[in-house]
Structure 1
Amino acid sequence: MKIDLSGKTAIVTGSTGGIGLAIATGLARAGATVTIVGRTRARVDTALAALRETANRDDATGVVADVGTAEGCAALVAARPDADILVNNLGIYGAQEFFDIDDALWDGFWQVNVMSGVRLGRHYARGMRERGWGRIQYISSESALNIPTEMVHYGVSKAALQGLSRGLAKVLAGSGVTVNSILPGPTRTEGAVQMMADLAAERGVGAAEMETLFLAENRPSSLLRRFADPDEVAAMSVYIASPQASATTGAALRVEGGIVESIA
């Protein structure tokens, strides 16, 4: 299968590293003109340089905006009013005892993980519907279905993203615009690597052994038995952005290594 996104424009939020940068790079390799979005000029410029080198493309651009806020979403929309492909990848996570999660922290996760996708979906879906073609993706998590006790607020926000994705898909039914969510599992991003390194130091083991221990203790149902690579998640995103995926919409697509105990 050859995926050709030539002539398509794509926006990927939270794309200065990890899964977001892998998705942006994959879309660029497939021919899309990509906009990287991040909070600092330095991070955006570094990501653009990496994308241009890896994808061998010089037409990628960047927008500096904190789309975890209403003002940041407005800034992105002003800079890039239209897009054919929108990947809502921005998200935050962090372990916290449930009884210590105050209202401010709940709201912070809601604004970044959910409302960023609401605001951007609300804007870009209009143009896609008018043109009769578009792809909107929400990067959720297996934690949406397998709510972790150490990150209830995170799991709830990701579950909300799936509801948003399904609802928007129904709003856009028959329009030529598809909306889907993607559910990664533990993935070897910069943040995850650092977390494993910190845990390894605490327990006096190596980083590779810590990944194995983490999966055994926290995701024992994993069938993959390893952390995924960001490119493996990106492959699903690039496919769902493609013309070949035109009949897939309103779906929650899992790239979580079989952690979720369900055949549906």
Structure 2
Amino acid sequence: MGIDLSGRTALVTGSTQGIGAAIACRLAEAGARVGVNGRSAEKTEAAVERFTAQVGDRFLAVPGDLATEDGEAAVAERLPSVDILVNNLGIFGAEAPTDITDDEWRRYFEVNVLSAVRLIRRHLPGMSERGWGRVLNIASDSAVVIPEEMIHYGTSKTALLAVSRGFAKAAAGTGVTVNSVIAGPTHTGGVEDFVYQLVDRDLPWDEAQREFMREHRPQSLLHRLIEPEEIANLVTYLSSPLASATTGAAVRVDGGYVDSILP
């Protein structure tokens, strides 16, 4: 079953590194033209140069802070129409529950939820008119298994599951699918920093990772962090015509972390 996204245009938010970068490259490998997004124009251009050297000339730099209305408008000016929207942008970090301020709660909601809502609101009508489109919201196991040290993050990702389901209903019968992807603990630079917030900073990375999974994510059936490319593989499938009957779903690529027999 080959995946061919030739002729499709994708936007992957927060895609200069980590999971977003892996998704952008996988979509491009499948033939899509991909808008690469980051807050900094310099960093976004550098990522496009790096991806182009790896995959080919299929990338467009679309910098902008999507946690703001002005940033979203700037991205839309450069890339006004997309067939595939991957809302990957997100922030996370460990903090004691009673220390999380109102401003921090608002910041997590702006970045992790409203950035996705703004882009769906802009692009869903065009997708529906054309009779084809894919919207993927990158959620997290933390949406279902709320971590004590990341209540604000987990809550924002729970909201994203609801956003996905609601917009899937809004797109019913149009040929557009809207899904969320529940990603499990994944190996990125940001996650390495997070791991060292919770384990001994003097440990070598392999030992630190094992201790983190054993002490803080014992539910994982992989007993390791997921690689970004493993998330990107599922996102690329869900972005393709092959996934035409999957919509309104929360699809898991979590290494068996969520202890549930339901998707």
Normalised TM-score (structure 1):
0.97
1:52 aligns with 2:21: no
Q: Tell me, in whole angstroms, the C-alpha distance in 2 between the residues paired with 1:14 and 1:4.
A: 24
Shift of 1:76: 1.1
CA offsets 1:114-156 (integer angstroms, 9 cap, x no match): 0000100001001000000000000000000000000000000
Unaligned runs of 5+ residues in structure 2 are none
Q: Tell me, in whole angstroms, the C-alpha distance in 2 between the residues paired with 1:197 and 1:11.
A: 31
Q: Tell me, in whole angstroms, the C-alpha distance in 1 between the residues paired with 2:245 and 2:92.
A: 32
In the alignment, is the contact (CA less than 8 A) between 1:196 and 1:207 conserved in 2?
no
In the alignment, is the contact (CA less than 8 A) between 2:37 and 2:64 conserved in 1?
yes
1:172 aligns with 2:171: yes
1:8 aligns with 2:5: no
Q: Tell me the amino acid that sits aligned with residue 250 of structure 1.
A: G
Q: Structure 1 residue runs of 4+, over 4 Å off? A: 197-201
Q: Tell me the amino acid that sits aligned with residue 11 of structure 2.
A: I
The counterpart of 2:204, out of the listed 185, 203, 206, is 206
Q: Tell me the amino acid that sits aligned with residue 27 of structure 2.
A: L
Shift of 1:20: 0.3
Shift of 1:166: 0.5
In the alignment, is the contact (CA less than 8 A) between 2:48 and 2:59 conserved in 1?
yes
Q: Tell me, in whole angstroms, the C-alpha distance in 1 between the residues paired with 2:48 and 2:125.
A: 28
Normalised TM-score (structure 2):
0.97
Matches within 5 A, 1:1-264: 1-55=1-55, 57-197=56-196, 201-202=200-201, 204-264=202-262
Q: Tell me, in whole angstroms, the C-alpha distance in 1 between the residues paired with 2:246 and 2:208.
A: 37
In the alignment, is the contact (CA less than 8 A) between 1:5 and 1:242 conserved in 2?
yes
Q: Tell me, in whole angstroms, the C-alpha distance in 1 between the residues paired with 2:220 and 2:147.
A: 14
Equivalent residues, number: 262
> Secondary structure in 2 aligned to 1:239?
helix
Q: Tell me, in whole angstroms, the C-alpha distance in 2 between the residues paired with 1:180 and 1:61.
A: 24
Q: Tell me, in whole angstroms, the C-alpha distance in 2 between the residues paired with 1:155 and 1:198.
A: 17
Q: Tell me the amino acid that sits aligned with residue 209 of structure 2.
A: E
Q: Tell me, in whole angstroms, the C-alpha distance in 2 between the residues paired with 1:151 and 1:193.
A: 16
Determine what percentage of the aligned residue pairs are the same residue. Answer: 50
In the alignment, is the contact (CA less than 8 A) between 1:200 and 1:206 conserved in 2?
no
Shift of 1:77: 1.4
State the superposition RMSD in angstroms. Answer: 1.1
CA offsets 1:190-241 (integer angstroms, 9 cap, x no match): 1112333565553x42211111111111111110110011000000000000
Unaligned runs of 5+ residues in structure 1 are none
In the alignment, is the contact (CA less than 8 A) between 2:199 and 2:211 conserved in 1?
no
CA offsets 1:70-101 (integer angstroms, 9 cap, x no match): 11111111221110000000000011111111
